[in-house]
């Protein structure tokens, strides 16, 4: 979702950066280039962050929002990297005053940084009146991280390669709860633990699934799971406490998203998701808890 708002003679553009949830994640042992082959069904939720772009003399970044304290506007911030990459690719000389409204925990396995980078590209595409198609923005996103291209379209997709390639997928919508125990978890650390545990030998390439119904999707999720859950739990034992809390009759299926430490729990109804989220948040105010719709076409 994107919108432009008038500020005097200038315009600012505000773009939603939705959370990316890995509903399945299979990971293989590292390839010769050191990257891990993977295949994952990823979908996007109706919770996330916002990137605002306004005219500016130079490219700058300000971070605000409830989770701003966990992130600094350093030179390596993905929002700044995305802005500079697009300026270089498009030959743009003007700047932009960027604001990231941070609502999700840092390093939480739900694509925050990648989605922010993708939202930055979409915002500046409007601000700078480039009118580039999504495919062209995805090429700019590619060097920013394996998750960045899929976040440009923000539609359910089957990710392959090392995550950098994907095809759009038809997937049902799911009412769900996202729960993060408040512990950042670096993706690189999880993959190093994955390797140390000798995992990934059973990885086999598979075609994109056909999730015609919710029940078919839930069965497939349960059969596939997330290969990074064991190493993530070894690094952040609190994930186990979240998993235990999600053992609830309202939950049809629960698993880790990406490299964690956020877990998702799918329920049958929105009311069930809301009531479960409220109960968990009341019991654990130190956790980040949200009732969401996954596959909302954010």
* Of 46, 102, 116, 147, catalytic: 147
Q: Is 189 a catalytic residue?
A: no
Strands 174-180 and 263-267: antiparallel
Find residue 52's DSSP bridge partners.
Answer: 14, 99
* Of 20, 46, 102, 227, catalytic: 20
CA distance 90 to 106: 30
* Residue bearing tokens 């300000």: 62
Q: How many CB atoms lie within 10 A of CB 218?
A: 17
125 SS3 class: helix
Q: Is 35 left (phi over 0), alpha (psi -120 to 50) or beta?
A: beta
CA distance 180 to 236: 11
Q: Is 72 a catalytic residue?
A: no
Strands 95-101 and 38-56: antiparallel
By annotation, the residues acting in catalysis are: 20, 147
């Amino acid at each position: 979702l994107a919108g432009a708002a008038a500020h005097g003679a200038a315009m600012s553009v505000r773009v939603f950066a939705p959370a990316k949830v890995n509903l399945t994640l299979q990971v293989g042992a590292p390839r010769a280039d050191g990257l891990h082959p993977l295949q994952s069904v990823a979908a996007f939720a109706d919770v996330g962050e916002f990137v605002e772009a306004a005219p500016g003399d130079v490219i700058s970044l300000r971070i605000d929002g409830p989770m701003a304290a966990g992130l600094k506007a350093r030179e390596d911030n993905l929002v700044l990297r995305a802005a500079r990459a697009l300026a270089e690719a498009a030959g743009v000389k003007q700047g932009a005053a960027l604001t990231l409204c941070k609502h999700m925990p840092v390093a939480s396995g739900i694509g925050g940084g990648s989605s922010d980078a993708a939202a930055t590209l979409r915002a500046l595409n409007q601000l700078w009146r480039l009118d580039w198609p999504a495919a062209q923005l995805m090429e700019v996103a590619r060097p920013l991280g394996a998750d960045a291209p899929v976040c440009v379209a923000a539609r359910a997709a089957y990710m392959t390669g090392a995550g950098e390639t994907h095809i759009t997928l038809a997937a049902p919508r799911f009412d769900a709860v996202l729960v993060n125990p408040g512990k950042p978890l670096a993706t690189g650390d999880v993959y190093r633990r994955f390797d140390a545990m000798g995992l990934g030998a059973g990885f086999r390439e598979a075609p994109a699934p056909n999730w015609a119904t919710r029940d078919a999707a839930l069965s497939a999720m349960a059969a596939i799971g997330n290969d990074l859950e064991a190493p993530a739990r070894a690094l952040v034992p609190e994930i186990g406490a979240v998993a235990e809390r999600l053992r609830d009759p309202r939950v049809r299926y629960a698993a880790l998203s990406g490299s964690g430490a956020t877990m998702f729990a799918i329920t049958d109804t929105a009311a069930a998701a809301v009531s479960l989220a409220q109960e968990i948040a009341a019991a654990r105010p130190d956790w980040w808890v949200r009732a969401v719709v996954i596959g909302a076409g954010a």
